[in-house]
């Protein structure tokens, strides 16, 4: 496993659409492990492959609860329900936070890292994280969706 560099604001890869994973091979497994390690090192809740420079439809999410890391390959949001206004940040936009409106609940279909088809019904923070990371896969970053006037920069260590 290795920590990868997280691409930051202004990097054109963040605006590109990721490609479907055709085969879950050893390279994808290494990517997943590296993404998890990178996310944990930076205390992130989620990470999309784009953020480490790989245009593949892979995301990892960890709410730091007893459920462990969620790995989604080729995720598709198939249902959305309700709305929630949330505070959001992003590892690719260090120290920036804003309010954003996300679905309160989502249902997502994807492959897990073993290649099995899974369906997850998520709400609250998990729904928010799934939407945020799927946006990344589509070349959309959170600052594209913020409620105007809510973007804040927080100095590191404060």
Quick check: is 133 catalytic? yes
- The predicted-structure confidence for 90-120, as pLDDT tens digits, reads as follows 999 999 999 999 999 999 999 999 999 999 9
Three-state SS across 94-150?
EEEEEEEEECCEEEEEEECCCCCEEEEEEEHHHHHHHHHHHHHHCCCCHHHCECCCC
Output the pLDDT for position 1.
Answer: 77
CATH of 12-153, one of 3.80.10.10, 3.90.45.10, 3.30.200.210, 3.10.580.10: 3.90.45.10
- Residue tagged active-site, from 12, 26, 85, 133: 133
- The predicted-structure confidence for 7-58, as pLDDT tens digits, reads as follows 999 999 999 999 999 999 999 999 999 999 999 999 999 999 999 999 999 9
pTM of the prediction? 0.96
The residue ranges of every structural domain in the chain are 12-153
């Amino acid at each position: 496993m290795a920590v990868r560099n997280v691409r930051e604001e202004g990097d054109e890869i963040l605006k590109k659409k990721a490609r479907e994973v055709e085969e879950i091979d050893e390279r994808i497994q290494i990517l997943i492990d590296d993404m998890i390690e990178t996310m944990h090192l930076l205390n992130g809740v989620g990470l999309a492959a784009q953020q480490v420079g790989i245009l593949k439809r892979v995301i990892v999410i960890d709410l730091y609860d007893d459920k462990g890391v969620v790995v989604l390959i080729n995720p598709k949001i198939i249902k959305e329900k309700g709305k929630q206004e949330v505070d959001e940040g992003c590892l690719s936009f260090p120290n920036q936070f804003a309010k954003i409106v996300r679905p309160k609940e989502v249902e997502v279909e994807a492959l897990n890292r073993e290649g099995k088809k899974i369906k997850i019904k998520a709400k609250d923070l998990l729904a928010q994280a799934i939407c945020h990371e799927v946006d990344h896969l589509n070349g959309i970053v959170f600052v594209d969706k913020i409620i105007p006037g809510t973007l804040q920069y927080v100095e590191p260590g404060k």
